[in-house]
């Protein structure tokens, strides 16, 4: 993943393992955005988006009745065997951290660490 990929939407085949690392949050990448969308339901393969530090904060919305507040996250994962086609993750750089917004039509469609 490079800064030149900013603004792109990546369609992810949920049947294959995907491990993506976004650039470290830095003043030079303020305004950089990436969007990841499942084009096939998640199978047993791991699908992760990670940053180099615990600099991801934001919200997770899914089929449960609450919105999860995320802080100090390093990795977002489309939950194996749970995340569904159309579930998506967007990340936005402020220059000092990544703002995260994940949306799943399944309960617990994302996990984070």
What is the tens place of the pLDDT at every residue in 13-61?
Answer: 999 899 999 998 999 999 999 999 999 999 988 899 999 899 999 999 9
pLDDT of amino acid 35: 98
Q: Which tens digit of pLDDT belongs to each residue from 86-105?
A: 999 999 999 999 999 999 99
Q: Note the pLDDT of residue 46.
A: 87
Strands 9-13 and 33-40: parallel
C-alpha distances (whole Å) from 106 to each of 21, 71, 96 are 24, 22, 31
**CA–CA dist 70, 54 (Å, integer):** 11
**pLDDT for position 66:** 82
Look at residue 22 in the predicted model and tell me its pLDDT: 96
Q: Assess whether pLDDT exceeds 90 at residue 113.
A: yes
CB contact set of 49 (below 8 Å; sequence gap of 6+): 20, 21, 22, 34, 36, 75, 76, 77, 89, 91
Which domains are delineated in the chain? Answer: 3-112 (2.60.120)
Q: Would you state the pLDDT for residue 94?
A: 97
Say how far apart CA 107 and CA 101 lie, in whole Å.
16
Q: What is the pLDDT of residue 18?
A: 93
């Amino acid at each position: 993943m490079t800064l030149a990929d900013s603004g792109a939407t990546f369609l992810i085949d949920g049947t294959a393992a995907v491990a993506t690392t976004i650039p470290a949050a830095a003043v030079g990448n303020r305004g950089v955005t990436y969007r990841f969308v499942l084009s096939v339901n998640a199978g047993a393969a791991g699908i992760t988006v990670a940053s180099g530090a615990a600099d991801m904060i934001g919200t997770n919305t899914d089929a449960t009745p609450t919105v999860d507040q995320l802080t100090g996250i390093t990795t977002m994962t489309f939950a194996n065997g749970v995340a569904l086609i159309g579930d998506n993750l967007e990340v936005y750089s402020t220059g000092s951290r990544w703002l995260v917004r994940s949306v799943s039509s399944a309960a617990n469609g994302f996990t984070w660490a």
